[in-house]
Structure formats: structure tokens, C-alpha cells
Amino acid sequence: MAVTSLSIEELKQLQQQLQQEYDAYKSQNLALDMSRGKPSGKQLDCMNSIFDIKVDYMTKAGVDARNYGILDGVPEVKELFSELLNIPTEQMIIGGNSSLNMMYDTIARCFLFGTGGETPWSKLPKVKFLCPCPGYDRHFAVTEEFGVEMINIPMTEQGPDMDLVEQLVAKDDSIKGIWCVPLFSNPQGICYSDEVVERLASMKTAAKDFRIMWDNAYGVHYVYKKHPLKDILKAAKDAGNEDRVFYFFSTSKITFPGAGVALMASSVKNIEETKKRMGVQTIGSDKLNQLRTLQFFKDADGVLRHMDQLAQELRPKFDIVLKTLERELKDTGLATWQSPDGGYFVSVDTYQGCAKKTVSLAKEAGVVMTGAGATYPYGNDPEDKNIRIAPSYPTCEELQKAMDLFCLCVKLAGVSQLLEENK
């Protein structure tokens, strides 16, 4: 029965009961963390034999990878990713260990030097970005750092609300870009439909230098089920907008978050322009780590087999999250959530105005969640209801405890809010 249909008396009684349960948790002095999308130690152990690799440092072309040279990545490492992601090697740059760093630098270059021959964004009175949300806090932090005005775009089951996106970009040339996590989105686990990809690639934009920041962070990170993703680089090219897309990927959640290999891809023209600027910025990225990664996986199949192993590791954790939500919150009217097929998160919407309260209750009882609001630009969730659950890091036992407490907090916050509304 929906909690939202209870009488005030019943709500008061329920509140008292939930409060007792909550106090009992508090006395347990829990110290659990579901805040960040961090792989667990056990997941990372699946990679440990990489430490046995004595890197063969001569590239196929006979270049000594210990030395200077090769700004944009070892060719055979590009080939590995080309096979994995279906991106031509000439449209790719291999970076260091952080795709976030490549995204930041890409936006920094747009601000400092411009892109596609247009005015540098730092010379414009106003730059705006579309931010499908809930979304990834670190994306929003980058655009906030550059003083970009961020516009919330609601997510649908198919991706960003494309009617709204098309309408906005068509008329406002200060809208210079959009953040996208097209597969198993952070935090909802939504996979962009072919139609959404197609519309993003082909829509008319008032800004000539409109850019799609395509962060395919979870491109091979299924948990229950693999999903296809339409090739946006090709779609954009077919639509005559080949310079529109900056594509990013990394092995942070494939190998090691602290020592992965990142890449970016775009049109040949954008990649050439980027390489020219990068040639001033850096001597290039760690080629030995690129080769180490290649020599561990051998080929794209090696990566996919490894992802099967990681999916097995993650599945019981997602099971716990989803089953506990189902058991504790289904039909209460106090929460809704998505059941993702992959990625790193489960996104929960509490009863309106209850996210901050829920996270704060959980924290007080020893369970750290991602901060309420973090999934929205400026940390401002207009309805104060979205909470991101990151189940990967804790053990199953810890996670079960944390989820039990979390659901209790959702209910306690929800009931208190209902009573507040009925005063």
C-alpha cells in the first residue's frame, strides 16, 4: 500500500516505527561508502597479472617506446581501440590515464583558441552548454570552472529530451555544446536510442562550432546485458557535421582507475588541429603503459572477455541494490528508480524534496552517499529528489547493510515530508 495514501495518524505511527529502526542502525556505528563509482579491490585483482608483464618496448614499427616520440599514441594500441570501438585510427588520439583530463583540455582549447576556426569561447560574452540530467558531476564541474551557463535537459528512457535540445540549439548560437554519456548513462544507466544519436548528429545548430562531448565512459561496461550504440562519428559525418563530435573513452574502469589509458576521437580535421596544439603542450603520453595494456589484453576480444569477468563481479551488487529497492520501496509512492543493464550506478528519485534529507540521514548513521544534487549542474537538483547509488566499491555484505539503511532513510525522509505537507 502506498505510504502516500496513509492518513496523518498512520503516517505518525509509521514515522515513529521508522525512527526506532533508524536509531537502532545508528547504534551500530556503520562506516560504509556508496558515494563514488570506484571499482572494488576484488575487481582490480582481476587485472593483477598485468604486473607480471615485462613490457616489450619496441613498437611494431621499430620505435623505442621508452624514448621521446609518438605524440598521439602507439599505432598498435590505436588498433586495439579501433577494433573495440569501431573508430578509425586516424580519428583517434591516445592520451594519459584520464579521459576527464582530455575532455577538460578539449574545452580549454575551445576557450583559448576556438574550434573549427571560430572565435575562441573566452572572447564571447556568454557560452552555454546543455546538460542532460541527472548526469555526471565532474562534467558539470568542468563547464562550471569555465564559467559556462549550464541548461538542464531532462532525460527520457531514450536519452536527452531531443525535442527540447533541437529547439534550443536551433535558435541560440551561444549554446556551444552538450554533455552526453550515451551508454549506461551516469547515473541512470540509460542507453541512447538510434534515433537520439541520429538527431544529435544531424540537428541544425545556430552555433557553427557546436560540440557534442560524447563520453562513452561505459562503452563496454555491461552488467546484465550488452547494448548497441549507433556510431555517432559516422552519423555526424553522414549528416555533414563531422566536426561536431568529440568522443572520449578510457580503460579506467577496465584496467586500473589510477593507471588506465584514455583516448579521444573526432573528425580527421579536429584530430589534426588537436594534435598540432598538443604538440606544444606535451611530449605525448606514457607509451609504455599503452603497450603494457595492449600486451595484457592482446586484442579487443581480450578486453571483452575481461569485461565479462567484471560483469560477473558487479552483478551480485546490482542485484542487492535492485532487490532491496524493490522489497523496501516498491509501491510506497516514496521512490522510483531505473534498472540499468550496465554502467556503475543506480539512480533513485525519492519523494519530492527528500533527497538531501535522505542523504543526510544516511550519513548520520554511517553510510556515505553521493551528495544530493551532485547529479545536477551547480549541485542544484530543482526537485531535490535524485540520489546516485554507487554499488561497486563495498563488499556484498556491506552493500546489503548500506542499502537496508538507505531504504529506511528514503522512507523516513518521505514520511516526514508528507507530514510536513499535511500540517
Q: For binding to a copy of itself (CB under 8 A), which residues are involved? A: 36, 38-39, 41, 44, 47, 51-52, 54-55, 57, 64-70, 96-98, 100-101, 104-105, 108, 111-112, 122, 138, 141-142, 145-146, 252, 256-259, 277, 280-289
Quick one: 65 or 346, whose CB is closer to a copy of itself? 65
Q: How far is the CB of 117 from a copy of itself (least distance, A)?
A: 16
- Across the strands, what pairs with 130? 151, 178
189 CB contacts (<8 Å, ≥6 apart)?
338, 339, 340, 341, 342, 343, 345, 346, 347
Q: How far is the CB of 323 from a copy of itself (least distance, A)?
A: 27
Q: How far is the CB of 378 from a copy of itself (least distance, A)?
A: 14
Quick one: 242 or 398, whose CB is closer to a copy of itself? 398
Torsion sign (Cα): 266, 153, 109, 114: positive
Q: How far is the CB of 176 from a copy of itself (least distance, A)?
A: 16
Q: How far is the CB of 2 from a copy of itself (least distance, A)?
A: 39
Tell me which residue of 207, 218, 217 sits closest to 178, measured CA to CA.
207
Cell of 99: 579521459
Quick one: 65 or 200, whose CB is closer to a copy of itself? 65
Q: How far is the CB of 370 from a copy of itself (least distance, A)?
A: 14
SS (H, E, C) the chain: CCHHHCCHHHHHHHHHHHHHHHHHHHCCCCCEEECCCCCCHHHHHCCHHHHHCCCCCECCCCCECCCCCCCCCCHHHHHHHHHHHCCCHHHEEECCCCHHHHHHHHHHHHHHHCCCCCCCHHHCCCCEEEEEECCCHHHHHHHHHCCCEEEEEEEECCEECHHHHHHHHHHCCCEEEEEECCCCCCCCCCCCCHHHHHHHHHCCCCCCCCEEEEECCCCCCECCCCCCCCCHHHHHHHCCCCCCEEEEEECCCCCCCCCCCEEEECCHHHHHHHHHHHHHHCCCCCHHHHHHHHHHHCCHHHHHHHHHHHHHHHHHHHHHHHHHHHHHHCCCCCEEECCCCECCCEEEEECCCCHHHHHHHHHHCCEEECCCCCCCHHHCCCCCCEEEECCCCCCHHHHHHHHHHHHHHHHHHHHHHHHHHCC
Quick one: 20 or 49, whose CB is closer to a copy of itself? 49
Quick one: 42 or 327, whose CB is closer to a copy of itself? 42
Burial class (CB in 10 A: 0-12, 13-18, 19+), 280: exposed
Q: How far is the CB of 58 from a copy of itself (least distance, A)?
A: 10
Quick one: 104 or 376, whose CB is closer to a copy of itself? 104
User: For 206, what's the count of Cα atoms within 13 Å in the CB-facing half-sphere?
Assistant: 14
Quick one: 2 or 280, whose CB is closer to a copy of itself? 280
Quick one: 351 or 393, whose CB is closer to a copy of itself? 393
Q: How far is the CB of 38 from a copy of itself (least distance, A)?
A: 5
Q: How far is the CB of 296 from a copy of itself (least distance, A)?
A: 13
Quick one: 389 or 412, whose CB is closer to a copy of itself? 389
Quick one: 44 or 304, whose CB is closer to a copy of itself? 44
Q: How far is the CB of 341 from a copy of itself (least distance, A)?
A: 24
Quick one: 36 or 234, whose CB is closer to a copy of itself? 36
Q: How far is the CB of 263 from a copy of itself (least distance, A)?
A: 15
Tell me which residue of 341, 298, 287 sits closest to 318, measured CA to CA.
341
